[in-house]
Structure 1
Amino acid sequence: MNKKTSAVIMSLIAASAFSLTACSTGDAMEADKAMTNESMEKDSMEKDSMEHDAMMSASYTTYKEYSSAMSKYDGNRVVLFFADDAATSSAIDKTFSEDAASIPEGTTVVRVNLESHQDVADKYSVTSAPTFVELDSNGDAKESWVPESAADLVTGAMSN
């Protein structure tokens, strides 16, 4: 073998040895830091990240849930006053319950039964169902309107 061939072979052996050393256990993740289902689930269930995600996404919630934790709902807040015996109310409720994408991003729609929560209806001067009431950051009414469908949430509050 000539000197050039020997040098090339030695270089290849050295490069291979270096590559194998670089890929040794020093580069592997430690077992306790690996992305196991358990660790990923724990990280995704952190309280702060869950609350932030809930605040930023659209949500449809009951008056009881909303009133127990109002501060966790940022963004647009609209109250839907409904009555069980009103066809339009039932259709809007069904749309929001089955298709969260029908609620604009960053909007919380609070479902309030007009008959069960007459005190809340009185506060916002609501006398018929369905009625949407858009709230400001203090919980005061900004605007109210009577919808014909769930789509009127967008054309009512979000057009201001």
Structure 2
Amino acid sequence: MTDNEPKSLPAKTELTAEQRRNKYNRAVREARLVTIDLRGVKFSADPAAPLARGDKTRRGFGSEIVEFQYDPDEKIVFSCIRWKINLKDGRKNIVSCQVDYSVLYDGFSSTEEEIVKLFVEYVARPATYAYFRALYAQLDWSAGLNSPPLPVVQFTPKV
């Protein structure tokens, strides 16, 4: 082999389910929450929203990870979690709310990015839900919506 020939890269080893679970559990034990900060809120309610009731009224909500940065040298992960909720009366959107939280954890030791992404999905995201649920309840009350509280949700890791 000459110096000009490409060198073969070592084959990427796939983790077994047990290895993934062990690494994920180690990340959960080692990680330390540094901060959860409110990054932004967008809320709008149609003036007729408090009057909307009945079979045509539907609520939908969900979340997504909109930013993810992992620095294995510094052993920190930063993520931005976005929660959204909307209330529709028929096809008309009468309430919408979007809330972003910045979350920072440190303390990871030689953890693969794949495992840290799982950690953010199943630990950081649920950590922000309680804050979102409380904030939305306050916004709902302030707007006079009197909608039922958001449900308690369960996040079960698929590791």
| TM-score (ref. length: structure 2) | 0.22
Q: Return the index of the structure with the highest Cα Rg.
A: 1
Comparing both chains, which one has the higher relative contact order based on Cα–Cα distances under 8 Å and sequence gaps of 6 or more? 2
Structure (1 or 2) with the greater strand fraction: 2
Structure (1 or 2) with the greater helix fraction: 1
